[in-house]
Every structure is written in structure tokens, then in C-alpha cells.
Amino acid sequence: MMNPRTIVTALSEAAAARPDKGFLFLDERGHATHCPFPALLRRSHGVAAALIERGLQRGDRVVLAIPSAEEFVPVFLGTLCAGGLPVPVYPPLSLAHLSSYLEYCRHIVRAARADYFVTNRELRAVLGSVGEAAVGLRDMMVGADLDGDPASVALPDLHPGEPAFIQFTSGSTSSPRGVVVTHENLMANSLAIIREGVHPTPDDHAVSWLPLYHDMGLFGFVISPIMCHMPVTLIPTLAFLKRPATWIRILSSHGGTITYAPNFGYALTTQRVRDEELAGVDLSRVRIAGCGAEPIQAETLRGFARRFASHGFRASALVPSYGMAESTLAVSFSHGLVTEHVRASRLAEAGIAELADPGDPAVVEAVSCGPAFAGHAVRVVDRETGAELPERRVGELRLKGPSVMPGYYQDAEATRAVFDDQEWLRTGDLGYLAASRIFVCGRLKDVIIVHGKNYYPQDIEWAASRVPGVRAGNVVAFRKPMSGAGDGREGVVIVAESRLPPERRAPLGLEIQQAVLERCGLRIDDVVVAEPGSIPKTTSGKVQRARTAALHAAGQLARRHPDGLLRVARNLLHSQLAHLRRGALERRRG
């Protein structure tokens, strides 16, 4: 691997170095389309030429709402080659939620000051009103139509310091903001991932079902493989959600060595894959099974390792990770599952991660995400004073290094707010350091304060998730003001999804209260046992605590809010059906 200046030069190097390797795009039926690096380079240059011929100028923003990876990847890379700034967004919600999705798109178009919007044929008609209502949007195009002649235009020479694209945050704690990612950020983070996380070999093959509008899918399984000339197989997210065994079987049949998923992906696979679906499966080649993007539960990863050990999976392949969009993607990796048991009472009362006996019921198990990348730095500071804290003291994690964004797009106020006076990035995450390893406790905005003690919702949710009958990964804990209590105490609420029948939910709520009291020493004021799909999530699968609290206050938790990834999948299906219906009507009229 050479040391390219930009992802565009990296693609050219990959095409020259490994012309027989590249991307394998699977569709929902399992049909595969192989796109070697040279073909991807030609297709990307064709997209770039078409965009330039249609008026795109250097720095123009191009919103991409393209469900298919086979279409998304060359359009994303082609926009970069043309000097434009891609702005990936998730595809629309189901037709039942079309109005809210259109408003989301208008927000992104306005916030990014978008010049162009690229989608596919099926969604072009559905999204037409976005273009009609957007000020400054010059054209709405179909990705498959972008096929120009590279010889007819001059592609720009890109510089490392200029913006590469805009990555909007998932909005789990606030409205989505546009993170400006420079080519230098991309190179720094990708090289750190490769050198300190992946350590690629010529025999490696990456496999992913992660959506490409999210940073873990885009950086981890498009940009990084190009950087290290690694072949990659991309599975449709819907195919995984319909049948989690698809992920396992593709890893086996394609000789996958590197893969990643959020915590819920491992839980879903462990729970739903049937023994008969594992006939002939061999996972012995998997050497990196990363986990990130949401709070990591050690028992979830252990359960996955136990479930697939008989099929060759090694627990040593597990790689818990910490990252965020504002640092391009990754901050740190831990090779192997390394945990600590800390006393829950000391964590709550004093913010001190005091080691405790794992057999003690009142402990919290914290997962190490490893040390910060070389050339990058992380420190823990007091939330009130900003003073740096010693090891094992919980405070806000702050970052510095070449992967950290220059700021939010066209939002100087938000950018100033997220950097301190020494230019350290305020992550909003709470955690501590031990032997330079990062342990993440939770989000600053989510901390539940009871009688001056700090409780982290992830710990409460983990304790509740261990109760039989609760859907793991589908629990939310939050605070709400108590009315009329007179003691200033905040009430603590847990919403837990369950498939149990209604008559068994009241006892389940009591079991949850008892489990949290024993594990965390906290009395829960209210437990809502909800239907599956009730808890709203971001497009990247993170639970939305603030929105859940608002729905609880409004008495609307009975309504279902499909998981973010499922919403994307369902929308695509509904959009395609709508397209077919429109076509049938047009044929009848003709």
C-alpha cells in the first residue's frame, strides 16, 4: 500500500495494484455483481464527467439518497473525483411517513446548501417535491444516468486540506449536523484504522451489511478497503435484517476475514440464527469482528462468541471500538474483549471507576475500547471546570488529532461550542482512562442524577436487558421530573420491549425493577413494557432517549416506531411497490 494524498488517488492505485480485486455487490436474492477496482475507477470517472458536463463546480454539494450499494459507491466516488462534496443521506421512510422524510430531506438540503440531488429511478418521483421546495437546488438526477466521457472533461487535482464530503450526524442527541470531512481527515483516519486496527494481508476479504449512508459502513467498508486494496463483499442491509444468517453464511462462503456490526447486530444474530441455517458454516477465517457505533455490552459479544464457537469463530477476533462522526470514524480499537468490573456505588456517588470482585452483584462491567490512535490524543476532563482528571475518574472525553473535523458545515456557532479554548473536541461522551485504555460510560446529556448521584442509562439498560423476556438492545432508561413529590428528586423510567403476552408484562416490570435495584442500587419509578418496535431509533440503530421520553410523556409509546435500519428497508420496498403501481396505471391509461 502506498501513501495516497486523497481517496481519488487511492482508487487509481488500487486499480493498478490489484486489477482482479474490488467490490462484490449482492442483491436481496443473493445474486452477485463483481466490480473490480479498474471498472470502479472507470465508472467513477464517468460519473464525474457527467456531473461536470451538467454544471457541477468544485465544492458544490451533492446530496445522495441511493439505496443500492452498487449504484451508490460509484456515484459517491465520482462526485469526489469531480471535486464535488457528497452528502450521503438515508433513503426515505415508508410512504406512511413520507411527509416527515421529505421534511428531513429539505432540512439536509438547506443545511448543506445543496446544489444537486442524486437518487434512483424508483425514488425520483417520490422525492420530486424536495427539488421543487428547495432554494438553490439546481438539479435532481438519477445515478444510473450519470455516464459521461472522462476524456471530454478535465478532472480537478484535489488537495488534502480541502473538504471531501459532508457527513450528517445521526441525530441521537440533537438535530443532525453536517460534519465536514477533509481529504486529510479521511487519509489520517483510514491509515490509522489500517495500521493499528486491521493490519491487512493479501488474503483479507471484508464483508459488511452496514448501510453506506452511515460512517461505519462508508468509511469502514468503502474507503478503507480502497485504501488498502482489499476486496469487499457488500450485503444489502435488508437481507441481513430479514435473515441474520445471511451475514454468517456470506462470511463463510466468501472467506470473510474482517467484518463489523453494532452491538444490536451481534445480539440479533445470536438470537435469530437457527442451527439448521449453520450447516457447513466455517468462521475460522474471521480474524476481526469489530463492534462500535453504540454502547457495547460485553455479554452480547460473549454470547455471540459462544454461539458460533463450534463453527470456528474465535473470541479473540472481537474488536470493541470507539468512534464518532466528528473524528471521521474511529478513535480507538481494542483487540480482544477486555473488560473491568467496577463498583456501581462508587461510580454513581463519586464518578470513580473502582475495581471490584466480578462476583459482586452490585458491579458494572465496563468494556475497553483500547488506546487512542498514534498521532491522536484523548483526555478526560471535569465537566464543570474543564480540568484534566486522573485515571479512573469519570469525566468528558475530549479528542485531538488529524482525524478530527475542522467543524460543522456553515455553522460557526455549533463549531465554537464543540471545541474548547485549546482546540480539543468536546465529544459529549462520558468515560474514563485506565492504562491509557478508553472506557466509555455514556452520553453527557443522558446522565440520570438522583440525590446527587450519577447513573449512566447504559448500565441501567444492561441490567434490565438481562431479565428473561426483555428484548436485548431494546431498552431505554431516562429521567423525568416528579410532580408534587416535593423532594426535588427526578423520577426514573425504563421502557423495555417484550414479546410476552399482556398478562405477563406486569410481573416482568417488577422483575426489571428488582434487577436494576440489585445491580445498580437504583429504585425505578416506572417500567413500561412495550410492544416490539415501540422504541424510536436513529438511522444508525441507536436508541433515541429524548424522543422516547417525549413519547412516554405524551402517552404515545403504544405506537410502533420501527428501527432505523428497518425503516430504510421498508421504505425501499414501499417505494418500489408504488413505482410498480404507477407504471401499471400508466399502462392502463395508454
Which residue bears the cell 452480547? 300
What pLDDT, on the 0 to 100 scale, is given for residue 5? 80
Which residue bears the cell 435469530? 272
Cross-strand bridge partners of residue 499: none
CB 44 within 8 A of CB 69: no
| CA 499, chain centre distance (Å) | 26
pLDDT under 50: residue ranges of the chain: 172-173, 483-489, 559-590
Cβ burial 199-221 (10 Å sphere, 16+ → b, else e): ebeeebbbbbbbbbbbbbbbbbb
Listed in order, the ranges of the chain carrying CATH 2.30.38.10 are 320-444
What pLDDT, on the 0 to 100 scale, is given for residue 356? 92
3-state SS class at 581: helix
From residue 283, alpha-carbon distances to 23, 255, 320, 443, 454 in Å are 21, 8, 19, 34, 41
User: For residue 322, what is the DSSP state?
Assistant: E
Q: What is the pTM of this model?
A: 0.82
| CA 307, chain centre distance (Å) | 24
Superfamily of domain 447-559: ANL, C-terminal domain (3.30.300.30)
CA distance 78 to 47: 5
- In the chain, how many H helices and how many E strands? 19, 25
186's CB contacts (< 8 A; 6+ apart) are 6, 7, 164, 219, 223, 328
Pick from 583, 540, 587, 538: nearest CA to 561: 538
CB 46 within 8 A of CB 148: yes
Listed in order, the ranges of the chain carrying CATH 3.30.300.30 are 447-559
What pLDDT, on the 0 to 100 scale, is given for residue 502? 83
Report helix angle 69-81 to 7-17, nearest 10: 120
| CA 275, chain centre distance (Å) | 29
Pick the CATH number of 320-444 from 3.10.20.30, 2.60.40.10, 1.10.8.60, 2.30.38.10: 2.30.38.10
